[in-house]
Structure 1
């Protein structure tokens, strides 16, 4: 009864309203002894559990809420290849070996997502037509031209689009963008359904997945680890994986200070008219543009425009933020007509100092994977596979790093707000003069 009362409610959203995948994740009510205990049952934790369990490990994945309760079940659902830096910059920054490995890993992350969906029959409204990055000004167009060229040179199915092609594939106003590129590796999912499907897949492989099981203490006991849960249950494990991303707390000292949580805000319109549905994203692509405070948007299976971006620093963004976001979409898609918000919601993503995801070894047998900087559907899933490799003693698909804290972590929220205001002014200036 106490555990039930303390269960965080799944916030209302389009995804919570339309999800068809179900998964029962009862609280862990008895002490457990396992090979690996995972804290956090979002994309990363569930992918880790799946990849370890299918190899025969005894695994338990624990979440304070339910699978997908955090940003995994509350994001925009876009599945995008790549990282902050493009392949050549990764080589220059990390060296050809590590940089090439990171590019290959990040580039193949969408394929991993789609392969798991197909293998386990996950009912998550998958869209695989590709991801478009339209350029909002001339300098951004030069950037995406270089980006497209670098990925194409490494074998990615990528090509440049002129302004007319972007307008046709998006169904947007003809002069909305200067051009862009299409990455056929990308797409979208219904994220809460995908999270629940991953939980079902992990359980089918032998993992135990429990919700309403908040971990409150982590201690070393000889050669093993001990997790104490809020309801008095104890879990002992050879190894621990922390997969809490934007909801990282003080369970392991200092880890929370390595990321700044930022709320990713989403809104969904009312269903569009038949004519508007036929004109907007006619080939089932998804898009996120090149603004510093980027707009990312797509059409849901129910014919709603779904838009995301940076919003208020709170779990409930409110109707004003939703209406402002949809006003932006009205400027892009005149065919849609006046848009009314049906849903608005938010979830915490985690930003790192260098804007790269990190696989940390915090201590012997203690691992963490976090910091997806807004690309968590693909990279969170891939991080799970990399963590499973590290736990098994294999070479993971990305470098193992040491945590680096933000020096003024307590002011991170205000720093994010200051940068958002600066970026908003720059975006407005470039929108007024796209030749910049």
Structure 2
């Protein structure tokens, strides 16, 4: 036994082997490495290490195969189980119904503007217009000699032009108000509603170029209507909401665009000479954005009533710069009424008064404070002027709210007026100012 212990547990290759002893040391069963203090293991015979490596290789291979088969089985179960597959895909949490649950805060979102838009926007339509324009080929050979040999050089041709504007339904039977310049020269009109319906439109009555207003008629059921309000009691600074379809060709749906501003000014007048011979009187100015395609759409207040028709803007770039103008609804009502009753707007009125400029000599002889205004030189018998109480020698210094400086100013104030319209006139008579109201009448047939 002693010889076996000394052979199996060598202490070190560099230390001598102790001489044999007759009796075993009491601690000979435990031998330690005096250099590194690591307990030594019992060495195996020459064939044992080879057998251990082979066994470990086989066992590792077996474990790997089992793990692979198990992984494939688990993956197949996950793929074939819908519930498990859905859980495996990461998802974002759903947003809460409201970040703040207070009903008071939620109510503040539904402002007067939101409710006004919800009330009117279903009645705002997109108007697509096709025009046929006659054009002539322009060439450098516009000479009779060239045209004799080449007659096709100066020929005319018809070109289709598509344009788009806005409008709004004012009656359940399909009457739509828009601008005259939106449908001018139209050969085909298509009206698209926000709910997706589309109708062929027809011009109703005679469009009025002077006031830039027109009516279109469509045939449909359950048509939404935009309620007409009043423009006489508007206040500068109150909310103004423009609804329409700007740049309609770039947006592939018929839902209108809403822009919000305030009423910037009231009773803006533009001379016919600067407005393409149109009569833009008492216009509403707003800073709500109005862009190409908005023409004919409604301008509404925070109560949800139409107060005007968006018509034009001042712009250097062609886009909105916060200076837009709308025809007041008071005039719109008057024009619609004329078209519905007579098929046209009756501008063939007469006043029966004859006016001329106030010269300095006239001003001095009548003791007038200035030579501004227009003096009445004659009044026709039985005329609207006579019925209003106007007399020869009265000096007109204001038409409505507009002060006038000459007879031309007075005439311009009557441009666009219609039969039945009431015109307030401020005159000086005997050194005193007074206001009279003249109701325009249709021009008698014997005076035409």
Q: Greater Rg, structure 1 or structure 2?
A: 2
TM-score band, normalised by shorter chain: under 0.3
Structure with bigger strand share is: 2
TM-score (structure 2 length as normaliser): 0.21
- Higher relative contact order, chain-length normalized (CA < 8 Å, sep 6+): 1
Q: TM-score, structure 1 length as denominator?
A: 0.21
* More helix, by proportion: 1
